[in-house]
Structure 1
Amino acid sequence: MEIKVLGTGCANCKALYSSVEQVVNELGLQADLVKEEDLMKIMEYNVMTLPALVVDGKVVAKGRISKEEIKKILTK
């Protein structure tokens, strides 16, 4: 599983990355976690709201996301 957190380095982006990292560890998932801050690469996902969460190449959430929401997304 590849998980990307799209964001430019703002506080919300850093918080989402941290939350995703915690959830991955709690659930014991085998995942590559990537923090994508390159604006040109972020634009390839056609996302206007940051931060955004991408799982296996698909945008699954945008904006603020709670740890519970992250757990639901990653366990689907």
Structure 2
Amino acid sequence: MEIKVLGPGCKKCAATYEAVKEAVSEAGIEADIEKVEGMLDIASYGVMGTPAVVVDNEVKLVGKVPSKQDILDMLS
């Protein structure tokens, strides 16, 4: 599984990245987690707001910091 957290480096984006890492670890899910900060890279996903979470090239969340349950729901 490939997970990307899109965001230019703001506090909400950093919080989202940490929440994703924590939820994946606690759930025992094997995934590559990448932080994408370049605006052109973010825009290539059609995302206009951040933070955003992309799972296997599908945008799953835009514009808010997800809860652990939100993340687990995205990954199932």
Band of TM-score, shorter chain: over 0.9
3-state secondary structure, aligned to 1:47: coil
Aligned to 1:28: 28
The superposition leaves residues 12-32 of structure 1 with CA deviations (integer Å, 9 ceiling, x where unpaired) of: 000000000000100111100
Q: State the one-letter code of the partner of 2:22.
A: Q
Gap runs ≥5 in structure 2: none
Give the TM-score, by structure 1 length.
0.95
Gap runs ≥5 in structure 1: none
Query: In percent, how many aligned pairs have the same letter?
Result: 47
- Within 1, Cα distance between the matches of 2:47 and 2:11? 18
Q: State the one-letter code of the partner of 1:69.
A: D
Q: State the one-letter code of the partner of 1:73.
A: M
Q: How large is the Cα RMSD of the aligned pairs?
A: 0.7
**Residues 1-76 of structure 1 aligned to structure 2 (within 5 Å):** 1-64=1-64, 65-75=66-76
The superposition leaves residues 47-69 of structure 1 with CA deviations (integer Å, 9 ceiling, x where unpaired) of: 11100000000101112221111
Further displaced range: 27-36 or 60-69:
60-69
Give the TM-score, by structure 2 length.
0.95
Q: State the one-letter code of the partner of 1:20.
A: V
**4+ long deviations beyond 6 Å:** none
